[in-house]
Amino acid sequence: MDKTMEQRLSVITLGVDDLAAMKQFYSEIIGWPTVAENKDIVFYTLNGFLFSLFGRTSLAKGAGLAPEGSGFRSFTLAYNVPTRQEVDHLFEELKKKNVHMLGEPQNTPFGGYFFYFTDPESNVLEVAYNPYIPLDEQGNVITHNSIDDL
């Protein structure tokens, strides 16, 4: 099968209502340094791609869509870690910073361990240990191992 596009992403942009509050959350609470920014957009370098914050109305307009809507946005952003202990550590660190947690860390039937929290605009983020998703030394996903046995 011919690929129209290579199997990769370059930038994930999150449309936000309050750029200053969201920048403060990701820069100061989460601890990610910005790599580029102006009055309209903020960029963070992640492992092999960029994550950006951009005005939701401007983002929708650029895509030719209406910015209205609320509730669950049909996506989550996951931050995978190599151990269950790291999940617990990050849960405690985020709680200390008064981050809105959506529940306690919990086990999965396949041996994983995770919790969810939200940023100031109710976007859902996950911290997870998944034994089927090995990470390299820098925390990059190597692959997703077979789940045929699940």
Please report, for the domain that includes residue 146, its CATH number: 3.10.180.10
Tell me, yes or no, whether 48 and 97 share the same domain.
no
Residues 61 and 110 grouped into a single domain: no
The torsion defined by the Cα of 44, 50, 51 and 55, in degrees rounded to 10, comes to: 90
Query: What tens digit of pLDDT does each residue of 68-108 get?
Result: 765 556 577 889 999 999 999 999 999 999 999 999 999 99
Are both 88 and 136 inside the same structural domain? yes
Q: What is the pLDDT of residue 143?
A: 84
pLDDT of residue 56: 86
Same domain? 138 vs 105: yes
Distance CA 65, CA 47 (A): 29
What mean pLDDT value characterizes the chain?
88
Count of C-beta atoms within a 10 Å radius of residue 79: 15
33 with 92, same domain?
no
Residue 106's domain comprises: 72-150
What is the tally of structural domains in the chain?
2
Q: Which of 75, 36, 40 is nearest to 61 (CA)?
A: 40
Structure tokens at 38: 């102006």
- Nearest in space to 37 (alpha carbons), one of 49, 48, 27: 27
In this structure, are 100 and 63 located in the same domain? no
